[in-house]
C-alpha cells in the first residue's frame, strides 16, 4: 500500500500517461492483492482494469458454495451483483475529466450466466473491476486516485468479497435456485419434455426494455391445465407441479393480447437460469431451443435451403444458396437450416415475426398458383418431418391459421393469460372442417449441409490493428464489418456479445477455423475449451483476462458468424 501511495504522490500533476507506471504491477494490501492488468492511456479512453485477489483462507467461502460447477457459476454471479450494489453505496463516482472516478463491475440482468467478472476457487477469490483513474484535463489527480485505490477499494472488498460480510440466506438461495433449474432441465429429457412452466410463475415483464417481472398484483400467475400437469423434483425446492410441454409439435393459440407471445418469450429466455424473485426461476427450456424468425436483408452464405425453397427462377441454386439481401422467406429458411447445423433441438417460432408465405399456403392459393410455379414449401409441410427425421421439436405461436391443427401434437390456448389444453378440440375441428389443401413437403425433410468456414474470409483488422468491439447486445464490430445481431433474440446480455466477438477471433488465431473443420466441429471444440479453461481464454491480450464476458451458447456464436457479411464457406 505504501509503495502504491508513493507512486501516486510521485506522478501527481504529471501527464496522464504517467499512470502507466502501474500497469503489470501488484500491490499487497492487508487482506488482498491489487493487480493492474491494464492502465488506460487517456481519461476519455476505455477504463483501466484491475484484479482484486483474496486468498481463500481469508475470504472464507465454504467449498460447498462453489462446487460443483453450477454452484460456482451462481456464486460468481451473486458476488458480481454484490459488488455492483456496494459500488453504488461506497464509491463516490465520477470526479474529474472523462471517466475519472469510475469504479465498475460487469452488471448482470435477470439471468444467472457464467461470467469472467468474479472467479472463486479453492485457492482464491478474484474480482475484476474497471476503474477510471482520476485526471483534471489530462493531468494525474494523485490525491483522488489515492482516495479511490487506498480507501474505497478496501471498503468495497471488505463489504462484498468476504463470506463473513455477506447475508448468507440470499446467497444460499441464489445458489440453490440456479442448481434447481439445472436439475429441472435434466429432468425434461427423462420425462419426454422440452419445457416446463411451474404453477405460480410470473411470466409478464414490466416492458420490452425492462426484464424485471410485472408486479404480482398486476400479473396473472401461471397455472397448468390438468391434462398437461407434471411434477419435477429439484433438490432444494422439492416437488414442483406445472405444465410440461412434450416433445413433438406444440401450438400456442388464442386471441390477441391473451398471453401467447408472453409465454413464448418466457420459454426462449429459460434456456438460461433466472435469479430468485424473477418469476421465471421455475421455468426451464431444453438448452438446445432456438428462436427462429424472418430476417429481411441478412446475408446468407451457401446454405442448403431446398427443404423449404427450390425451383427458383433463372435456375438459382438452392442446394448452396447465397444472397446478400435475403427475403423474409429465404432468411427464415436459412435461419432454420443454420440452427440445425449448429445443433438446435427445438425451434421456437411466432407467426408475428415469421414470413407469411413461409408458414402456410392454403387450398385456394394452391388452386390459383400451381406448385411448379411456387418455389416455397411452407413450414406446415415440413414441421412433422423435422421431428420424425431429425428429432427436432417445434413450439409455434399461431393465431391466424387453423391448418396447423392437422400437424400438431399439442395445442395450448392462452385465454385471458390462463393456459388451456385444447388439443382434443383442435383435432375434432380439423376432422370436421378439413382444409383440402395438398401436402407439398415430399417424403423426407432433406439434407443439412456441414459447411467449413474459410479463414481468409474473416479479417478482424481495421488498418493494422485488430478491432473487435461489441455495441450493446445487438452488434459486433469485427474489423471493418458490422455483425448485426438485433434479430438474434436469445442473446440476453451485452457481455455475451463481447465474448462472441473475441471467441470468433480466438477460433481464428488458434487455427480452429482452418478451412477443413466444419462449423459444428469448431463449435464443439470451443465448448470443450470453455469448459476446460473458462472464459478467460477468449481474451485477445496475453496476461490480461477480461472482466466483462458472459458465456454464450454455441447457437449464438454460430448466429454471429453466419451474419458476418464477408464469411465464405466450403461444403
pLDDT tens for 266-294 read: 999 999 999 999 999 999 999 999 999 99
Examine the domain organization and report whether 444 and 516 are in the same domain.
no
Examine the domain organization and report whether 160 and 199 are in the same domain.
no
For the segment 467-486, the average pLDDT, to the nearest whole number, is 92
Question: Which residue blocks in 360-419 are alpha helix, DSSP H?
Answer: 363-368, 383-390
Grid cell 411451474 in the structure block, residue: 198
Residues contacting residue 17 through CB under 8 Å, at least 6 positions apart: 41
Q: Is residue 330 a part of any domain in this protein?
A: yes
**Integer Cα distance of 87 and 107 in angstroms:** 11
353 to 309, 398, 487: CA distances (angstroms): 19, 11, 10
439 to 327, 369, 429: CA distances (angstroms): 24, 14, 19
Task: List the one residue out of 379, 332, 327, 330 whose CA is nearest residue 354.
Answer: 332
228 to 274, 412, 423: CA distances (angstroms): 23, 9, 10
Residue that finishes a domain, picked among 140, 166, 192: 166
**Integer Cα distance of 337 and 382 in angstroms:** 12
Q: Per-residue confidence at 553, pLDDT binned at 50, 70, 90? A: very high
Residues forming a β-bridge with 419: 414
Examine the domain organization and report whether 18 and 132 are in the same domain.
yes
φ/ψ bin of 436: left (φ > 0), alpha (ψ from -120 to 50), beta (otherwise): left
Residues forming a β-bridge with 126: 53, 119
Which of 78-92, 231-245, 461-475 bottoms out in mean pLDDT, i.e. has the lowest?
461-475
Examine the domain organization and report whether 347 and 228 are in the same domain.
yes
Could you give the angle at the alpha carbon of 265 between the alpha carbons of 261 and 266, nearest 5°?
Answer: 120
Q: Is residue 172 a part of any domain in this protein?
A: no
Number of folded domains that form the chain: 3
Residue that finishes a domain, picked among 449, 474, 495: 449
**Integer Cα distance of 250 and 244 in angstroms:** 11
Examine the domain organization and report whether 288 and 236 are in the same domain.
yes
Examine the domain organization and report whether 469 and 374 are in the same domain.
no
Q: Is residue 59 a part of any domain in this protein?
A: yes
Which pLDDT belongs to residue 406?
Answer: 95
Examine the domain organization and report whether 444 and 469 are in the same domain.
no
At residue 143, does pLDDT exceed 80? yes
Which pLDDT belongs to residue 543?
Answer: 82
Domain harbouring 229, CATH code: 3.40.50.300
Q: Is residue 107 a part of any domain in this protein?
A: yes
| 3 state SS of 94 | coil
Grid cell 399456403 in the structure block, residue: 361
User: What average pLDDT is seen over the chain?
Assistant: 96
Domain span at residue 545 reads: 452-570
Examine the domain organization and report whether 458 and 354 are in the same domain.
no
Examine the domain organization and report whether 468 and 320 are in the same domain.
no
The DSSP bridge pattern shows strands 229-232 and 240-246 to be antiparallel
At residue 471, does pLDDT exceed 80? no
Residues contacting residue 144 through CB under 8 Å, at least 6 positions apart: 95, 96, 100, 101, 134
The DSSP bridge pattern shows strands 468-471 and 103-104 to be unpaired
pLDDT tens across 145-202, in order? 999 999 999 999 999 999 999 999 999 999 999 999 999 999 999 999 999 999 999 9
For the segment 57-77, the average pLDDT, to the nearest whole number, is 98
pLDDT tens across 226-257, in order? 999 999 999 999 999 999 999 999 999 999 88
Q: Is residue 421 a part of any domain in this protein?
A: yes
Examine the domain organization and report whether 428 and 525 are in the same domain.
no
Residue that finishes a domain, picked among 401, 417, 449: 449
Q: Is residue 152 a part of any domain in this protein?
A: yes
At residue 315, does pLDDT exceed 80? no
pTM reported for the whole predicted model: 0.96
Residues contacting residue 257 through CB under 8 Å, at least 6 positions apart: none
Which pLDDT belongs to residue 494?
Answer: 95
Examine the domain organization and report whether 470 and 420 are in the same domain.
no
Grid cell 426461476 in the structure block, residue: 281
Q: Per-residue confidence at 95, pLDDT binned at 50, 70, 90? A: confident
Q: Is residue 457 a part of any domain in this protein?
A: yes
Query: Percent of the chain at pLDDT above 70?
Result: 100
Examine the domain organization and report whether 25 and 106 are in the same domain.
yes
Q: Is residue 171 a part of any domain in this protein?
A: no
**33 near 43, Cβ under 8 Å?**
no
Amino acid at each position: 500500500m505504501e509503495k502504491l501511495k508513493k507512486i501516486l504522490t510521485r506522478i501527481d500533476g504529471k501527464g496522464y500517461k504517467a499512470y502507466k507506471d502501474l500497469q503489470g504491477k501488484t500491490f499487497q494490501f492487508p487482506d488482498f492483492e491489487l493487480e493492474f492488468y491494464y492502465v488506460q492511456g487517456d481519461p476519455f479512453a476505455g477504463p483501466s482494469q484491475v484484479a482484486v485477489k483474496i486468498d481463500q483462507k481469508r475470504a472464507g467461502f465454504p467449498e460447498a458454495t462453489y462446487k460443483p460447477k453450477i454452484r460456482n457459476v451462481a456464486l460468481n454471479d451473486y458476488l458480481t451483483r454484490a459488488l455492483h450494489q456496494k459500488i453504488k453505496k461506497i464509491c463516490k463516482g465520477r470526479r474529474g475529466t472523462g471517466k475519472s472516478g469510475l469504479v465498475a463491475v460487469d452488471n448482470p440482468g435477470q439471468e444467472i450466466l457464467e461470467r469472467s467478472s468474479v472467479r472463486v476457487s479453492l485457492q482464491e477469490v478474484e474480482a475484476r473491476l474497471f476503474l477510471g483513474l482520476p485526471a483534471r484535463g489530462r493531468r494525474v489527480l494523485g490525491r483522488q486516485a489515492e482516495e479511490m485505490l487506498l480507501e474505497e477499494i478496501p471498503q468495497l472488498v471488505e463489504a462484498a468479497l468476504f463470506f463473513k460480510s455477506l447475508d448468507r440466506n440470499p446467497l444460499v438461495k441464489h445458489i440453490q435456485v440456479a442448481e434447481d433449474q439445472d436439475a429441472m432441465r435434466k429432468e425434461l429429457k427423462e420425462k419426454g419434455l422440452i419445457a416446463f412452466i411451474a404453477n405460480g410463475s410470473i411470466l409478464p415483464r414490466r416492458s420490452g426494455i425492462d426484464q424485471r417481472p410485472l408486479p404480482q398484483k398486476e400479473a396473472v400467475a401461471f397455472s397448468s391445465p390438468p391434462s398437461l400437469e407434471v411434477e419435477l423434483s429439484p433438490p432444494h425446492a422439492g416437488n414442483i407441479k406445472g405444465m410440461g410441454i412434450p416433445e413433438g409439435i406444440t401450438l400456442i393459440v388464442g386471441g390477441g393480447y391473451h398471453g401467447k407471445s408472453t409465454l413464448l418469450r418466457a420459454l426462449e429466455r429459460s434456456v438460461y437460469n433466472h435469479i430468485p424473485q424473477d418469476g421465471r426461476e421455475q421455468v426451464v427450456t431444453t438448452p438446445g431451443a432456438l428462436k427462429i424468425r424472418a430476417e429481411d436483408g441478412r446475408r446468407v452464405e451457401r446454405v442448403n435451403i431446398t427443404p423449404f425453397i427450390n425451383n427458383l427462377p433463372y435456375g438459382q441454386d438452392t442446394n448452396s444458396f447465397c444472397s446478400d439481401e435475403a427475403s423474409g422467406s429465404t432468411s427464415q429458411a436459412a435461419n432454420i437450416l443454420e440452427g440445425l447445423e449448429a445443433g438446435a433441438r427445438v425451434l421456437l417460432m411466432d407467426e408475428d415475426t415469421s414470413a407469411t408465405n413461409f408458414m402456410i399456403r392454403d387450398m385456394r392459393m394452391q388452386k390459383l398458383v400451381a406448385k411448379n410455379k411456387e418455389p416455397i414449401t411452407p413450414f406446415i409441410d415440413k414441421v412433422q418431418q423435422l421431428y420424425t427425421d431429425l428429432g427436432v421439436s417445434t413450439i409455434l405461436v399461431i393465431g391466424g391459421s387453423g391448418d396447423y391443427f392437422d400437424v400438431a401434437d399439442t395445442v395450448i390456448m392462452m385465454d385471458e393469460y390462463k393456459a388451456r389444453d385444447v388439443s382434443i378440440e383442435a383435432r375434432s375441428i380439423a376432422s370436421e372442417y378439413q382444409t383440402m389443401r395438398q401436402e407439398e413437403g415430399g417424403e423426407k425433410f432433406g439434407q443439412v449441409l456441414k459447411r467449413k468456414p474459410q479463414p481468409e474470409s474473416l479479417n478482424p483488422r481495421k488498418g493494422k490493428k485488430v478491432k473487435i468491439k461489441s455495441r450493446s447486445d445487438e452488434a459486433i464490430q469485427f474489423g471493418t464489418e458490422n455483425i448485426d445481431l438485433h434479430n438474434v433474440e436469445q442473446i440476453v446480455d451485452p457481455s455475451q456479445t463481447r465474448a462472441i466477438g473475441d471467441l470468433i477471433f480466438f477460433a481464428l488465431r488458434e487455427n480452429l477455423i482452418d478451412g477443413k473443420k466444419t462449423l459444428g466441429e469448431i463449435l464443439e471444440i470451443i465448448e470443450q475449451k470453455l469448459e476446460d479453461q473458462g472464459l478467460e481464454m477468449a481474451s485477445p491480450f496475453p496476461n490480461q483476462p477480461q472482466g466483462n464476458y458472459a458465456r454464450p451458447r454455441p447457437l449464438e456464436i454460430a448466429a454471429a458468424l453466419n451474419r458476418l457479411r464477408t464469411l465464405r464457406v466450403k461444403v
